[in-house]
């Protein structure tokens, strides 16, 4: 589907005609909601299992999908669902409410931006102030980040020195319900051969 000129009905019909029993909507929230609206118009809810990755984890989505879909869409949340409500999650909401626009999404990507900024700022504050304007020393400090924990993540955050970087390979499964999301599976590791190099790197770096 061309995201610049999306034809959600054609994409939906193609998925329906594939013979699958599950439809994964891997689109930004706006397009995902448009696809779900088209599926509702054709009353396709009970014909398939409906799943989505983290872009559909957005505080506005439960109201946007409406009662028709409540209890029928499962979403993988890469960071902690809002009701986990740890200290970092609470601070993230305060930052969003204090500095973001009302229409800015309260979603996983906003959480990730907050978390990245928090870790980066803490790293700079741990440095000698005289070294903060030294690009090479800042880069070394960033590569040295490891075992940073947060209630927003299921595992530790790290950077390290490697050709790849993916510290977050665990998450939650949630279900869209009236007024929010219900956690149906707490923190779990994603299982695939793809992650084997990441596990090997973490063992080498001493990631706990």
Q: How many residues does the chain have?
A: 208
| Beta-strand pair 73-77/49-52 | parallel
**pLDDT digits 0-9 by tens, 105-148:** 889 999 999 999 999 999 999 999 999 999 999 999 999 999 99
Give the per-residue pLDDT at 94: 94
pTM: 0.86
Give the per-residue pLDDT at 2: 76
Mean pLDDT for all residues in the chain:
93
**pLDDT digits 0-9 by tens, 163-181:** 888 999 999 999 999 999 9
Classified as helix, coil or strand, 94 is helix
């Amino acid at each position: 589907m061309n995201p610049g000129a999306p034809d959600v009905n054609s994409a939906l019909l193609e998925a329906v005609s594939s013979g699958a029993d599950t439809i994964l909507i891997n689109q930004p929230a706006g397009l995902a909601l448009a696809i779900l609206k088209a599926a509702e118009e054709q009353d396709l809810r009970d014909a398939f299992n409906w799943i989505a990755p983290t872009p559909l984890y957005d505080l506005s989505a439960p109201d946007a999908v409406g009662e028709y879909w409540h209890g029928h869409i499962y979403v993988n949340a890469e960071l902690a669902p809002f009701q986990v409500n740890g200290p970092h999650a609470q601070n993230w909401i305060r930052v969003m409410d204090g500095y973001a626009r009302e229409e800015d999404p309260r979603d996983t990507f906003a959480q990730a931006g907050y978390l990245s900024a928090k870790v980066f700022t803490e790293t700079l504050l741990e440095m000698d102030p005289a070294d903060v304007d030294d690009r090479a020393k800042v880069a070394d400090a960033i590569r040295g980040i490891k075992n940073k924990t947060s209630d927003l993540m299921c595992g530790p955050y790290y950077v390290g020195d490697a050709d790849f970087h993916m510290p977050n390979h665990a998450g939650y499964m949630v279900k869209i319900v009236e007024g929010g999301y219900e956690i149906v599976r707490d923190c779990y590791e994603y299982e695939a051969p793809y992650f084997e190099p990441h596990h090997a790197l973490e063992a080498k770096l001493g990631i706990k």
